[in-house]
A and B are shown apart, each in its own frame.
Chain A
């Protein structure tokens, strides 16, 4: 979608393959992380979340991995389908360690293109 600037990282995968989208977050005190999917012309859609006391969480066809040591988050999509084509954002909730609110800070996003 038209959500991020010109330097949006792009990942192209073959339909049926697994996709891995990576994200580096900024604040070591962040305690809640969310992955969103944004299709063109639509709002961000919740995919999966994880709290900082976990390092892995699985959903339907998706898995989120959290590595707090290197402040890295990844989203794995199994058996990628054409409908998975979208921009994917990771977001961290800075909690009270941030601006005194529970705002989300979003990464720049990765555009996933699925090749049929």
Chain B
């Protein structure tokens, strides 16, 4: 158990809908990262937050957004969902958000029908 928690574990929804994925980082970690893992793209970095502020964006679509709250938990919002958004979404956390170890949560499996 990495100490990073994610909810829900599974999510099934329809095209065009909007969902919110939640992540709680390890105790003491200030930085949260979101990654998408699909069969054809592997693990792709989406976005990073550090202590409530957005630090960097990766391959994140405009339909997706995220935020990190004062208690350091983070939410990833996915809207206007398409079939291709079906994937595993992982949250990771680290202490400083720099070159330190990122610990991953168990992931949320999103299925868009």
Residues on A lying within 8 angstroms of B by beta carbon are 2-6, 31-32, 34, 36, 42-46, 49, 51, 89, 93, 95, 99-109
Contact = CB atoms under 8 A, between A and B. Distances in A.
A36 B102 CA distance: 10
Interface size class of B (residues with CB under 8 A): 20 to 34
Q: Among B2, B88, B102, which residue has the most Cβ atoms of chain A within 10 A? A: B102
24 contacts: A2-B88, A5-B39, A5-B40, A5-B42, A32-B99, A34-B101, A34-B102, A42-B107, A43-B2, A43-B90, A43-B105, A43-B106, A46-B104, A93-B99, A95-B98, A95-B99, A99-B56, A100-B56, A101-B48, A101-B56, A102-B98, A102-B99, A104-B43, A109-B42
Interface of B: 2, 4, 33, 37, 39-43, 45, 48, 55-58, 88, 90, 92, 97-107
A101 B39 contact: no
B1 to A, nearest CB: 10
Given A3-B88, A102-B48, A102-B99, A44 B104 contact: yes
Contacts, number: 75
Contacts of B33: 103-104
B49 to A, nearest CB: 11
A93 to B, nearest CB: 5
Contacts of B102: 34, 46, 104
- Residue of A4, A5, A104 most packed against chain B (CB within 10 A): A104
Contacts of A89: 43
A108 B4 CA distance: 23
Contacts of A108: 42
A52 B49 CA distance: 25
A3 B45 contact: no
